[in-house]
Amino acid sequence: MSLILYIQTALETAMVGLARQGEIIAERVNPSQKDHATFLQPAIRDLCREAGISLGQLSAVSVANGPGSYTGLRVGLSAAKGICFALDKPLITFSTLDWMAMAGLSADAYRLAPMIDARRMEVFTALYDTQGNCIEPPFATILDENLFLTALDNGKILFFGGGAAKFKTIQQHPNAAFADLAPRASDLALISWNLLQQRVFSDLSSTAPLYGKAFHSTQKPSAS
Residues 45 and 104 reside in one and the same domain:
no
Residues 81 and 188 reside in one and the same domain:
yes
Residues 56 and 155 reside in one and the same domain:
no
Residues 91 and 16 reside in one and the same domain:
yes
What is the spatial distance between Cα 224 and Cα 222, in angstroms, rounded to a whole number? 6
Start-to-end CA distance of the chain, whole Å, equals 56
Residues 142 and 168 reside in one and the same domain:
yes
What is the spatial distance between Cα 62 and Cα 81, in angstroms, rounded to a whole number? 10
**Structural domain boundaries enclosing 89:** 3-95+184-197
- Please report, rounded to a whole number, the percentage of residues in the chain having pLDDT higher than 70: 95
pLDDT greater than 60 at residue 223: no
Q: Are 166 and 187 in contact (CB under 8 A)?
A: no
What does the DSSP 8-state code read for residue 111?
E
pLDDT greater than 60 at residue 38: yes
**pLDDT per residue as tens digits for the range 159-205:** 999 999 999 999 999 999 999 999 999 999 999 999 999 999 999 99
Mean pLDDT lowest among 34-38, 63-67, 162-166: 34-38
Total residue count of the chain as it appears in this document: 224
Rounded mean pLDDT, 75-104: 97
Q: Would the pTM count as exceeding 0.95?
A: no
Rounded mean pLDDT, 42-46: 96
Q: Which helix (H) or strand (E) holds 46?
A: helix 36-51
Spell out the alpha helix ranges (H) of the chain. 36-51, 70-87, 96-101, 149-153, 164-168, 185-197
Residues 22 and 45 reside in one and the same domain:
yes
* Cα atoms in the 13 Å half-sphere on the side-chain side of 154: 6
We report the CATH number of the domain holding residue 72 as 3.30.420.40
What is the spatial distance between Cα 28 and Cα 63, in angstroms, rounded to a whole number? 15
pLDDT of residue 109: 77
The answer to whether residue 137 is domain-embedded is yes
The number of distinct structural domains making up the chain is: 2
Residues 91 and 188 reside in one and the same domain:
yes
Q: pLDDT-derived band of residue 213, with 50, 70 and 90 as boundaries?
A: low
pLDDT greater than 90 at residue 35: no
Residues 115 and 148 reside in one and the same domain:
yes
Q: pLDDT-derived band of residue 214, with 50, 70 and 90 as boundaries?
A: low
Residues 121 and 152 reside in one and the same domain:
yes
The answer to whether residue 224 is domain-embedded is no
What is the spatial distance between Cα 42 and Cα 52, in angstroms, rounded to a whole number? 15
Residues 89 and 128 reside in one and the same domain:
no
The answer to whether residue 46 is domain-embedded is yes
